[in-house]
Amino acid sequence: MALKQYLSQKMDQRLSPQQIQLMKLLQVPTMELETRIKQEIEENPALEEGAEEVEEDEFEEQENEVVEEDFNIDDYLADDADYKTQVNNKSKDDEEKVIPLSGDKSFHERLTSQLHMRKLSDNQLVIGDTLIGNLDESGYLNRDIESIVDDLAFSFNVSTTEEEVISILKMLQEMDPAGIGARDLRECLLLQMDRKQNGDISRYTAKKILEDHFEEFTKKHYKKIMKKLEIDDNNLKDAIEEIVKLNPKPGGSMKEAAGNYQQIVPDFEIMENEGKLSLTINGRNAPELKVSRAYKNMLLNYSEGAKSTKSDKEALTFIKQKLEGAKWFIDAIKQRQNTLLLTMDAIMSYQKEYFLTGDETKLKPMILKDIAEIVNLDISTISRVANSKHVQTEQGIISLKFFFSESLSTSSGEEVSTREVKKILSEAVDNETKRKPLTDEKLAILLKEKGYNIARRTVAKYREQLNIPVARLRKEL
């Protein structure tokens, strides 16, 4: 087959670097925005914090003769909306009432400290450290002993046996927190129950249930357990109360102490006053930035010179690039603020009844497309705004994603939010008789009586989304 050459025309639409920069800034929450701005200031010496100087207009006239073409953010994201919302321009020196959370050691570090307090050989310490390193966040050892023996041989040149590794594991299981180093839930609970044995009959019964009837217990086959152990309802209830006091994730109990956690700072605040809503945006969303006066002067000086040498031309190009980059970033921050305000204002208006009452059943069905059509922006832009953003309301700090939900029709043909149905479903489960919990079929009948014509399989889907177990697993004595 012969090779041929031919010409063809092709239309292609691509995002410019400035558009990409704006899209990335839109999805950054307030706390991360400060870090992003500091990073940009460090990387671009032509960008500075502070208010723009008065001489800006005079400089613009001179600079236009030198810079080929300024970037205009309006070229790629037009927005003619008239904002009537407020801006909360707090000074960076204002007192910020955020209490930092102190960090602490993880359970891995605590176990390591306890291990190294024991009188062990070097090889035993290596085995213990390896076992600790293989514990997951909940404190379980999910790897089999044989694989750990192989790891010790190949990675640490430690020759050992499965019996020795198990003996070191049992030593770890005696350490704190109780239940650590278990290989499954049953072993985890038994390790904790062993430390509680003090002759109490309820704890003895609880241990027998975990040892001999764990499968029946997890499936809540209580009648089988009572028959095999020859106990009554009260004895079983007391034993189960002892079991539920145990911690199924002993490592997770120290998870919060594993490091510092960043406190959520709301991007917006909505306040209600005499039936009227007011929206403000966090002042950190609109920091004052300016183009460096020193770099402007350097550009003028180089532009007035002969620019004959290669180094002068390179310096001029470098300065122009940094000045343009600073302008692009400042414009992107301003556009980010405007887009955030425009989107949040639309959400506030759309869900006005909820913000006024705080009643979740007042939430209207709302998808990204609804807000995109109101503000005349792309759905992807609305998605970026809603991502990782929070609003301070009378009901507390709420994620913007909370306000988006699908819709369904009632028996009267009215469109309601699926969140409203989930709220009613959750309340029905909370108020049910735990000795005889409501099945999905009965929940579907209950919802139908309230005007929500929903199939049983849909009820099951909503129940799973709410992390509500099936009726059999909700049963209590």
Q: What residue spans of 102-221 are helical by DSSP H?
A: 107-115, 122-133, 145-156, 162-173, 185-194, 201-212, 214-218
**Residue 366: pLDDT above 60?**
yes
Place of tokens 């400035």: 18
Instruction: Please tell me which residue, 161 or 93, carries the higher pLDDT value.
Output: 161
Confidence of residue 19 (pLDDT cuts 50, 70, 90): low
Q: What is the pLDDT of residues 65-74, one digit of tens each?
A: 443 444 343 4
Per-range mean pLDDT, top range of 47-61, 289-303, 380-394: 380-394
**Residue 15 pLDDT class (50, 70, 90 cuts):** low
- Cβ density class 51-74: b for 16+ within 10 Å, e for less: eeeeeeeebeeebeeebeeebebe
Task: Say whether pLDDT at 100 is over 60.
Answer: no
Write out pLDDT tens, residues 231-260. Answer: 888 888 888 888 888 888 888 754 444 444
Q: What is the pLDDT of residue 69?
A: 41
Q: What angle do CA 418, 421, 427 make, to 5 degrees?
A: 140
Average pLDDT for 267-287: 83
- List the single range of 132-141, 187-196, 277-286, 391-400 with lowest mean pLDDT: 277-286
Tell me the two tokens of residue 286.
Answer: 């609109």
**So what's the pLDDT on residue 14?**
54
Architecture in CATH of 405-477:
Orthogonal Bundle (1.10)
Give pLDDT, residue 56. 47
Residue 66: the pLDDT is 40
Cα dihedral 273, 277, 283, 284, rounded to 10, equals 120
CA-to-CA separations, 364 to 367, 406, 447, in angstroms, rounded: 10, 9, 18
The chain-wide mean pLDDT, for the chain, equals: 77
Percentage of the chain lying above the pLDDT 90 cut: 10
What DSSP element (H or E) covers 213? Answer: none
pLDDT band at 164 (very low <50, low <70, confident <90, very high): very high
- Quote the longest CA-to-CA distance of the chain: 103
Q: What is the percent of the chain where pLDDT is above 70?
A: 77
pLDDT band at 274 (very low <50, low <70, confident <90, very high): confident
Coil, strand or helix at 270? strand
**pTM of the shown model:** 0.50
pLDDT at 418: 76
Which is higher by pLDDT, 470 or 181? Answer: 181
Nearest to 427 by CA among 462, 477, 475, 399: 462
Q: How confident is the model at residue 467 (pLDDT cuts 50, 70, 90)?
A: confident
pLDDT of amino acid 96: 42
In this prediction, residue 281 carries a pLDDT of 86
Give the H or E element holding residue 271.
Answer: strand 268-273
pLDDT at 297 (0 to 100): 76
Q: Given this model, what pLDDT does residue 169 score?
A: 92
Whole-number Å distance between alpha carbons of 59 and 298: 12
Pinpoint the residues of the chain covered by CATH 1.10.10.60: 405-477
Q: Kindly report the CA angle at 325 between 323 and 327, in degrees rounded to 5?
A: 70
**Residue scoring higher pLDDT (245 or 75):** 245
pLDDT of residue 249: 87
Query: How would residue 18 be classed by pLDDT, with cut points 50, 70 and 90?
Result: low
- pLDDT value, residue 248: 87
